[in-house]
């Protein structure tokens, strides 16, 4: 009987860890825009300080918003 409880606890813990890993990857993939490029002097440095890998100014006609990936 004790081995069934231990096994089920193990399955629940592994499931929670697996779900946490899936959710954290989706959250990381989202972009965040930190502000206008005129106010943010170095877009890449601002994004790196927030924990992102890439930062660039984006926009349709005139790149004017600093967004991070």
Q: From 3.40.50, 3.30.700, 3.30.420, 3.30.30, which CATH number describes the 31-69 domain?
A: 3.30.30
pLDDT given for residue 5 in this prediction: 82
pLDDT given for residue 18 in this prediction: 79
pLDDT given for residue 1 in this prediction: 63
Cα 14 from Cα 16, distance rounded (Å): 5
pLDDT given for residue 65 in this prediction: 87
Contact between residue 68 and residue 31 where contact means Cβ atoms under 8 Å apart: yes
Q: Where are the domains of the chain?
A: 1-30, 31-69
Q: Digits of tens for pLDDT over the chain (69 positions)?
A: 677 888 888 999 988 887 877 665 555 555 788 888 888 888 888 888 888 888 888 886 767 888 888
């Amino acid at each position: 009987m004790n081995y069934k409880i231990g096994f089920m606890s193990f399955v629940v813990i592994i499931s929670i860890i697996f779900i946490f890993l899936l959710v954290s990857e989706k959250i990381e993939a989202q972009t965040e825009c930190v502000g206008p490029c005129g106010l943010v002097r170095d877009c890449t440095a601002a994004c790196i300080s927030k924990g992102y890998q890439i930062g660039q100014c984006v926009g349709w006609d005139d790149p004017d918003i600093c967004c991070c990936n």
